[in-house]
Amino acid sequence: MVATLGMAVNEARFYNQAADDLNGVAPHAWYAHAGAGARFLIVLDDIVAAGGRPYALADRCDLAHAQGLVDAFATLHAQFWESPRLLGDLSWVRTWSTRTGYGMLKLFYARGRRGALRRDRLEVTPAVRAVCAALDRHAEAYYREFEAGPLTLLHGDSHLGNTFAWPDGRSGLLDWQVIWRGPGLREVSYWMTTGLEPELRRTHERELIARYLDGLRAGGVDAVPSNDVAFDQYRLFTAEAWDATAMTVNWPGLQEQKNTDAAFRRACVAVDDLQTAALMNERYR
């Protein structure tokens, strides 16, 4: 998987070319090199030794870390929002459909969603089955949403297990192997719907999205969507967050079982709460 999707090359390039511009959103890399196939070596600062805390997917994210992550996403996305660098020295950061191994990734997703439903899990409600059906029916139209501007540099796999908290209250991101160029709210949705317990998400999702939009404005982004438009994008992108967790259910070993279970449970509740299937079917009818 690392070789097929170019993951090692992506991460080494990120640390060598972009990470130091992000003020702690990523740890400092002392060395990053990708060799042939899946061989790579990256030497990072020790986050724990510096007083930081890495998170696992099964951990409970509190509001302070959630706010720190929203600020981190805003910092990252504002830095590269429609940046000329994405057509220059960072042109290797590809769009959704031009990424290395995209055909294989689509196959992983399609097989993952069908396999997850066949496992007869309690989380699979009618709303979850409806999202799966909507993804099967509208995949190509849906995926075009990921290439409609404005675009920025995305971490790409921004689940809770790839995050950490600094001792000063800031938050950051690890595991930059699947970075790509896309809409910033995809990243916020991917993290929030798989990483927050439903009660916390329901209570704070609108204020966290508003905080993200304010962070973009503070970072110099002019064309920031309204809160209502942003919330609908958040609801829409929840389908892909669910799809990604379904793939880990169908492919044991990508995550520890407790992490897979936590993310899938949260994502299943989110697509139900946010009526994601209804939004997709209305948008692509």
Yes or no: say if 45 and 19 are a contact pair by the CB < 8 Å rule: no
What's the pLDDT tens digit per position in 129-152?
999 999 999 999 999 999 998 999
What domains are there in the chain, each with its CATH number? 51-283 (3.90.1200.10)
**Residue 225: C-alpha distances to residues 71, 188, 198, 221 (Å):** 17, 14, 25, 10
Whether 120 has a pLDDT exceeding 80, the answer reads no
Q: What is the mean pLDDT of residues 192-204?
A: 97
Per-residue pLDDT band for 181 (boundaries 50, 70, 90) equals: very high
Which has more pLDDT, 103 or 284?
284
Closest CA to 116 of 222, 13, 251: 251
Q: What are phi and psi of 161, to 5 degrees?
A: -70, -10
* The predicted structure's pLDDT at residue 6: 87
* The predicted structure's pLDDT at residue 23: 86
Closest CA to 128 of 282, 281, 265, 284: 265
The two three-digit tokens of residue 136, written as one number: 């099967």
Provide the whole-model pTM.
Answer: 0.94
**pLDDT-wise least confident of 105-109, 190-194, 243-247:** 105-109
What's the pLDDT tens digit per position in 78-108?
999 999 999 999 999 999 999 888 888 888 8
**Residue 63: C-alpha distances to residues 58, 91, 196, 200, 238 (Å):** 16, 35, 9, 8, 20
CA dist., res. 247 & res. 250, Å (int): 5
Q: What is the mean pLDDT of residues 145-163?
A: 95
What's the pLDDT tens digit per position in 210-232?
999 999 999 999 989 999 999 99
Per-residue pLDDT band for 249 (boundaries 50, 70, 90) equals: confident
The two three-digit tokens of residue 2, written as one number: 């690392």
What's the pLDDT tens digit per position in 10-38?
999 999 999 988 988 999 999 999 998 88
CA dist., res. 178 & res. 7, Å (int): 6
Q: What is the mean pLDDT of residues 174-194?
A: 96
CB-side exposure of 248: number of CA atoms within 13 Å? Answer: 22
DSSP SS3 for 163: strand
CB-side exposure of 270: number of CA atoms within 13 Å? Answer: 31
Which has more pLDDT, 208 or 248?
208
* The predicted structure's pLDDT at residue 55: 97
For 232, residues 6+ apart whose C-beta sits below 8 A from its C-beta are 279
